[in-house]
Chain A
Amino acid sequence: MIQFAQLFNAIDQSTKTTVKVAALTEFFRTAPEGDRIWTIAIFSGRRPKRAVTTTKLREWAAEVADIPLWLFEEAYPIVGDLAETIALVLPEPTTTNDQGLTHWINALRGLSEVDEPVRKAFVLEAWASLDPTQRFLFNKLLTGGFRVGVSQKLMTRALARATGKDEAEMAHRLMGDWDPATVTWAQLIEEDDPAASASRPYPFYLAYALEDAPENLGAPEVWQAEWKWDGIRGQLILRDGVHYVWSRGEELMTDRFPEFARACDFVPNGTVLDGEILVWGDEKPQNFNALQARIGRKTVPKKLLQSAPVILYAYDLLEWGGTDLRAQPLAERRETLEALCADLPADAPIKLAPSLPFDNWQALADIRATARDAQAEGLMLKRRDSPYRIGRKKGDWWKWKLDPLTIDAVMIYAQSGHGRRANLFTDFTFAVWNGNDLVPFTKAYSGLTDDEFRKITAWVKKNTLQRFGPVRSVTPHHVFEIAFEGIQSSSRHKSGVALRFPRMARWRQDKPVQEANTLDDLNNMLALYG
């Protein structure tokens, strides 16, 4: 763990990309093979299964620290991270331990097989032998969620440097379904293994938001416009008679969407499609609310398959006949994609996402204004001669979203944030007026600057009415403009509505609390846009 802790410190103590990449490169050159593989796994979100519940960890930590459990529970939201809270409350270590990362991970993997007293003894012994940084990392491995400021991109760059391989190839190799417990360095990084690569998706190309007017993009003819869909971005892979569905978050979702099993009947082997997974009904895509019922369900009841069937709305073709098409211009890929989709029967789970013809930028702006009617969030603009790039890159693809809906609301509850925002009140509940009552209708926790969060935090501390654990009710005084992408009726919320992507657009310090919007205003928006 010592070498891994040194790597973590080097990464954590710097805000500079060059420093982080250098530290990772050095680690990938010098660390033992197992540690290297597990480090890749951890930094790409593949972690060992959680062997101890967080409830037990809290109890044990409070016990070892000799503090009451409630005190631990109060400290946790202030620190903002369970692994860190535990590392901080425990007494100094009494022994040392120089085992490496792989040893600890293997020990943790074995932990789910043993009885609780053995588990507890193991955890307590580890705590007593690790220094604070190592202890924090050990707890992170125990609890999962390893966000330490290393993006997949940085790690890929460091791996490419350490091995002398191409960054794009490395990115592709790290995608997909590999098991850090069984894979070897040679298999993962060096060898060419056709079986392993069959399921492997391509790294997704992601667009930046368009900030200027589209006029600045030049001639309209060189751009292709599409709706920007509000579904799940996904890749559908058909290779060797098997199909795979991947989300943008690199999650294998094949089992969640059994509809795509039939894709093999219509699309040949050696095909990879990029598109949006959407619920399809009444001959058109349905809104995100319909898809919500399918998200998070690992097995899908028959009834749901009938009421909320999904399709892939395909807008790009990455592989055809087993050949990687990503270097081809979009126009050529699109031509092949259109030909492929033209042959599909109406009940196929794949449909062609239309492109939107336009002659000039004003005409496109008019189309964009109708996006909500089409169940879209706005437009995508893609340069016709562009290749399919890796990751988020500026220049060839842009998203041009609709301006959000907005409403002025009153802050009534505040809660402190986590991680980087621990110790600041950043999570707020907002309400609108219903007569003389305030009805809560949404939470929001982003959109303000650190400085604004600091100011509101100082205010919350002085204007707390009541505390409910980490949540405080505050004097209704501050009005915020809440921006959101969509509004739906919801029986789960007191206000009867649910918002999509709510965030704080502005702190309306100019606005008296009486002038915030009302529940009627919200219901009018629901009638208009819901």
Chain B
Amino acid sequence: MSALTFTPNGIYCPAGDFHIDPWRPVKRALITHGHADHARSGMGAYLATDIATPVMRHRLGDINIDTIRYGEQRQIGGAKVSFHPAGHVPGSAQIRVEVGGEVWVASGDYKVVDDGLSTPFEPVKCHHFITESTFGLPVFRWQPQAVIAAQINEWWATCATAGKTAFLGCYALGKAQRLLSMLNPDVGPILTHTAIENTNSIMRSQGIALPDTVRADTDLTPKDHPGALVLSPPSALGSAWARKFGAQETAFASGWMALRGIRRRRAGDRGFVISDHADWPNLLSAIAETGAENIYVTHGYTEIFARHLSEQGWNAQVLQTEFGSDEEDAA
């Protein structure tokens, strides 16, 4: 029997009787990170990294959750389990499962470059590697974070000079905090939508350093904050709440902004290409570094990516999962 198997409930370890990121309620779930398509409600018991846990509690409410540190080894039934940094968002992990000498790694979502906020990605040697393929096409290649930061700050400064509020749309968990760390506070005040500020507070209370922000709730008077940049979930861009700020420019920060069609459909005025997922070269390098022979390709351009891996000599196959359901917003 394999260390990990694939069932209608999700990825399952028979030796340890647990699931990884299951999409249906199960007894025991090991969670790679807190995004909604990986950490779902209704599990009997959860296990996640100590860094990921506070946000999961906030999102999932009163759950039975145990924590584990990166690199800590734990025996669950017949399986040896450890969590390793995935670099996707703070606390995100690749889950290593070893049964009878056979090593599997379920990587959840990952990126290889250091974003300055999440614990950087660490390659883990294994025989079987489960990889995402959100940006598994050769058209996706990210520029260095500093280049994008300069673009965003320049755009913000231009907005501020023109007397406009700069609205930057992004995902509330992970991307928002990464963007915060990239912003130049000298340009002006940074305001945040409540959904984002809630996550910020949780991260600050667990000791993650973030720049000062002002909660832009209904009590806030927009004209008291000239030249502001407002971080907002994409759904709130252009809403009644956003319109209160008067003259504004809107932008959207996501890996999908690399494609002009999507940029024009989603972005309003500007699109900044920044993602918490690995780009094409990094997907390939990460896979190579695992030393694994068997690659299971989940959410993204699965068939194309698996075919390419097969041609490059891997034993690659597509794995149908329910991850990445909200990919355009999350990426």
Is B one of A's binding partners? Answer: yes
Chain A residues near B (Cβ < 8 Å): 12-16, 65, 67-68, 70-72, 74-75, 78-81, 84-85, 88-89, 149, 417-424, 450, 454, 458, 467
Using known A-B contacts A84-B259, A88-B258, A420-B261, determine if residue A79 contacts B269 with beta carbons closer than 8 Å. no
- Cβ < 8 Å to A, chain B residues 111-166: 137-141
> What are 21 sample pairs from A and B whose C-beta atoms fall under 8 A apart?
A12-B260, A13-B269, A14-B269, A65-B138, A67-B138, A68-B308, A68-B311, A71-B304, A75-B138, A78-B139, A79-B261, A80-B261, A81-B260, A84-B260, A85-B139, A88-B138, A88-B140, A89-B139, A418-B261, A422-B259, A423-B259
**Are A89 and B270 neighbours in the complex by a CB distance under 8 Å?**
no
Alpha-carbon gap, A149 to B270, bound state (A): 15
Alpha-carbon gap, A467 to B260, bound state (A): 25
Alpha-carbon gap, A343 to B262, bound state (A): 57
Mask, B248-273, CB within 8 Å of A = 1, is: 00000000101111101100111000
Using known A-B contacts A79-B139, A80-B261, A422-B261, determine if residue A15 contacts B301 with beta carbons closer than 8 Å. no
Contacts of A418 in B (CB 8 A): 261
Q: Identify the closest chain B residue to A65 (Cβ).
A: B138
Alpha-carbon gap, A88 to B325, bound state (A): 25
Q: Does B50 contact A (CB under 8 A)?
A: no
B172 CB, min distance to chain A CBs, angstroms: 19
**Are A13 and B261 neighbours in the complex by a CB distance under 8 Å?**
no
Mask, B10-47, CB within 8 Å of A = 1, is: 00000000000000000000000000000000000000
**Are A74 and B137 neighbours in the complex by a CB distance under 8 Å?**
yes
Alpha-carbon gap, A12 to B325, bound state (A): 29
Contacts of A15 in B (CB 8 A): 268-269
Q: Identify the closest chain A residue to B327 (Cβ).
A: A458
**Are B269 and A16 neighbours in the complex by a CB distance under 8 Å?**
yes
Alpha-carbon gap, A308 to B258, bound state (A): 49
Of A417, A420, A450, A458, which one neighbours B325 at CB under 8 angstroms? A458
SS class of chain A's interface: helix, strand, loop or mixed? Answer: helix
Contacts of B265 in A (CB 8 A): 420-421, 424, 450
Mask, B287-331, CB within 8 Å of A = 1, is: 000000000000001011001100100000000000001001000
Contacts of B260 in A (CB 8 A): 12, 81, 84, 419
Alpha-carbon gap, A67 to B328, bound state (A): 26
Contacts of A467 in B (CB 8 A): 303
A77 CB, min distance to chain B CBs, angstroms: 11
Contacts of A72 in B (CB 8 A): 138
Contacts of B141 in A (CB 8 A): 88
Alpha-carbon gap, A243 to B257, bound state (A): 50
Give 4 nearest A-B pairs by CB, closest first. A422-B261, A88-B139, A80-B261, A74-B304
Q: Identify the closest chain A residue to B271 (Cβ).
A: A13
**Are A71 and B308 neighbours in the complex by a CB distance under 8 Å?**
yes
Q: Identify the closest chain A residue to B324 (Cβ).
A: A461
Alpha-carbon gap, A71 to B307, bound state (A): 9
Of B261, B268, B303, B325, which one neighbours A81 at CB under 8 angstroms? B261
Alpha-carbon gap, A65 to B141, bound state (A): 12
Alpha-carbon gap, A113 to B301, bound state (A): 41
Using known A-B contacts A88-B258, A420-B264, determine if residue A78 contacts B137 with beta carbons closer than 8 Å. yes
**Are B269 and A419 neighbours in the complex by a CB distance under 8 Å?**
no
Alpha-carbon gap, A78 to B133, bound state (A): 14
Q: Identify the closest chain A residue to B268 (Cβ).
A: A15
Q: Identify the closest chain B residue to A149 (Cβ).
A: B264
Contacts of A417 in B (CB 8 A): 261
Alpha-carbon gap, A85 to B260, bound state (A): 10
**Are B259 and A79 neighbours in the complex by a CB distance under 8 Å?**
yes
B144 CB, min distance to chain A CBs, angstroms: 12
Alpha-carbon gap, A450 to B260, bound state (A): 16
Alpha-carbon gap, A315 to B241, bound state (A): 51
Alpha-carbon gap, A75 to B305, bound state (A): 11
Contacts of A454 in B (CB 8 A): 328
Alpha-carbon gap, A419 to B264, bound state (A): 9
B254 CB, min distance to chain A CBs, angstroms: 12
Alpha-carbon gap, A360 to B264, bound state (A): 46
Contacts of A89 in B (CB 8 A): 138-139
Contacts of B325 in A (CB 8 A): 458
Q: Identify the closest chain B residue to A74 (Cβ).
A: B304
Q: Identify the closest chain A residue to B141 (Cβ).
A: A88
Using known A-B contacts A418-B261, A419-B261, A421-B261, determine if residue A75 contacts B311 with beta carbons closer than 8 Å. no
Alpha-carbon gap, A149 to B311, bound state (A): 40
Alpha-carbon gap, A79 to B138, bound state (A): 11
B161 CB, min distance to chain A CBs, angstroms: 14
**Are A13 and B270 neighbours in the complex by a CB distance under 8 Å?**
yes
Contacts of B308 in A (CB 8 A): 68, 71
A405 CB, min distance to chain B CBs, angstroms: 31
Alpha-carbon gap, A224 to B212, bound state (A): 66
- Cβ < 8 Å to A, chain B residues 85-106: none
Alpha-carbon gap, A299 to B226, bound state (A): 65
Contacts of A78 in B (CB 8 A): 137, 139, 259, 301
Alpha-carbon gap, A418 to B262, bound state (A): 10
Alpha-carbon gap, A80 to B263, bound state (A): 12
**Are A423 and B261 neighbours in the complex by a CB distance under 8 Å?**
yes
B317 CB, min distance to chain A CBs, angstroms: 16
- Residue of B138, B268, B307 most packed against chain A (CB within 10 A): B138
- Residue of B139, B269, B325 most packed against chain A (CB within 10 A): B139
Q: Identify the closest chain B residue to A457 (Cβ).
A: B328
- Residue of A67, A417, A467 most packed against chain B (CB within 10 A): A67
Alpha-carbon gap, A423 to B140, bound state (A): 14
B306 CB, min distance to chain A CBs, angstroms: 12
Alpha-carbon gap, A84 to B139, bound state (A): 9
Contacts of A423 in B (CB 8 A): 256, 259, 261-262, 328
Contacts of B261 in A (CB 8 A): 79-81, 417-423
A81 CB, min distance to chain B CBs, angstroms: 7
Alpha-carbon gap, A129 to B264, bound state (A): 27
Contacts of A81 in B (CB 8 A): 260-261
Alpha-carbon gap, A309 to B66, bound state (A): 82
B249 CB, min distance to chain A CBs, angstroms: 9
Using known A-B contacts A81-B261, A420-B264, determine if residue A71 contacts B138 with beta carbons closer than 8 Å. yes
Apart from A14-B269, A420-B264: 12 A-B pairs, beta carbons within 8 A: A16-B269, A71-B304, A78-B137, A78-B259, A88-B141, A89-B139, A421-B265, A422-B261, A423-B262, A454-B328, A458-B325, A467-B303
Contacts of B138 in A (CB 8 A): 65, 67, 71-72, 75, 88-89
Q: Identify the closest chain B residue to A86 (Cβ).
A: B139
Alpha-carbon gap, A356 to B308, bound state (A): 65
Alpha-carbon gap, A70 to B303, bound state (A): 12
Alpha-carbon gap, A423 to B266, bound state (A): 12
Q: Identify the closest chain B residue to A453 (Cβ).
A: B265
A59 CB, min distance to chain B CBs, angstroms: 15
Alpha-carbon gap, A458 to B327, bound state (A): 10
Contacts of B256 in A (CB 8 A): 423
**Are B262 and A422 neighbours in the complex by a CB distance under 8 Å?**
yes
**Are A75 and B139 neighbours in the complex by a CB distance under 8 Å?**
yes
Alpha-carbon gap, A13 to B251, bound state (A): 10
Contacts of B258 in A (CB 8 A): 88
Alpha-carbon gap, A384 to B222, bound state (A): 51
Alpha-carbon gap, A79 to B256, bound state (A): 10
Contacts of B140 in A (CB 8 A): 88
Contacts of B262 in A (CB 8 A): 422-423
Contacts of B268 in A (CB 8 A): 15
B128 CB, min distance to chain A CBs, angstroms: 24
Alpha-carbon gap, A72 to B141, bound state (A): 15
Q: Identify the closest chain B residue to A421 (Cβ).
A: B261
A383 CB, min distance to chain B CBs, angstroms: 37
A204 CB, min distance to chain B CBs, angstroms: 27
B169 CB, min distance to chain A CBs, angstroms: 14
Contacts of A68 in B (CB 8 A): 308, 311
Alpha-carbon gap, A15 to B263, bound state (A): 11
